[in-house]
Amino acid sequence: MQLKAEKDSILVQLQQSTKLAHEKPELVERLFGTTGFSEVFSIADDLKFMRSVASKKKKATERGSIKLEIGSLSQSFDRLNLRKSLIHPARTARDILTRPFEEISNPPLTVSYDLNDTRLPGKFQFIDRYIIGSKVKRAPASTNSGCDCTDCALSTCKCFTKGSKGDEKQVEVYVRRPDGIVVLSDEYIAKGIVPHGEGRHEITECNEFCRCGDDCWNRVVCKGRTVPLEIFQTEKCGFGVRSSKDIVKGQFIERYLGEVVTETELEIREDAAEEHQPSYIYTLDWFNDDLNYKFNHVDGMYFGGAMRFANHSCNANAWCFPVQSHRKDKRVYDLAFFAIKDIKAGVEIRIDYRPDGGADDEKPSEDLVRCQCGEENCRGILWKPGVKTRRRRRREG
């Protein structure tokens, strides 16, 4: 009875506080067989336990007086190229918008947002060469060839040879100006801009199989753009393209770039597109006049270069000429834009969306797009029924 009374008394004390178990663990263990404390985990109050193990120095420290060592942070900021001065949010936004141009920067390709809040399409990406689709078939590199000359004289270099066998002639494509700039010859431009005119020829540039070097005057488009370009906002025609430098007649401006896709892939894309979605298609049909031929196409909708934003004019100052370096590959070649007249710095570069011409007395149609170029020779119509008509016919069929 005495042991039971002692156990009841100790139990009451333990229920009120565990202090007795800490002070007299032997007594508690003798009466109850265990103290109830874990040998692994402390059951002490967390705050009291932390205070008990903290050093006196840490207990006395005022947190507000602690000085942070930020040397490592400064080095991190330097690596991020962040200046010590504050960066205005507008500048940060501009850096984000212009960052896609940094890889296409020699000469610079820039964008200007001076007119309104309209921005370039978010899904659009700038590229500096074609993206060749997986279904596009190209002539093997082993079928290509080059010239044997070292000076590429007009009279002897086979890269200037045009026409079929037995009716061949040497065609002067490029000339070198006194200032060293290589431009299209006036004769080549005059013949090249006449729709379906005689004497029109593609440009064949020297390639890696030619014996001439990189300084050859017949290597222009393959060296890339040589003038700075700016994509800017126009008052009536969305975005446009201009240069901060004068461009002389015959000077190479830029290629039209995008994804090279097959006819089948193009139809799939057109059928999936919205009815009024704009089209940025160039058909690679220079070497074949058969309308039933399955051509390849360059789609600049989501990938492309500056000329994707070039606007139309019935009095264009730039023109697209076909350029090849692989003589046997007639299905994939470059679409190169050259100035066909002097273009002063700041003047918009405009091209003709209908280089084949066309009458301005088209019958009224819901598919006709009216031209807004404002030139005296304006044809009135931008283009004939095209993409939307093809979509509709396939859907109805």
Q: Which residues are catalytic?
A: 256, 353
- Cis preceding linkage at 107, omega within 30: yes
Q: Is the dihedral of CA 68, 72, 78, 80 positive or negative?
A: negative
d(CA 185, CA 249): 9
CA-wise closest residue to 110 among 98, 120, 121: 98
Q: N- to C-terminal Cα distance for the chain?
A: 105
Beta bridge partners of 303: 125
279 near 155, Cβ under 8 Å? no
Burial class (CB in 10 A: 0-12, 13-18, 19+), 39: exposed
Backbone angles phi, psi at 301, to 5 degrees: -60, -50
Q: Whose structure tokens read 């663990």?
A: 25
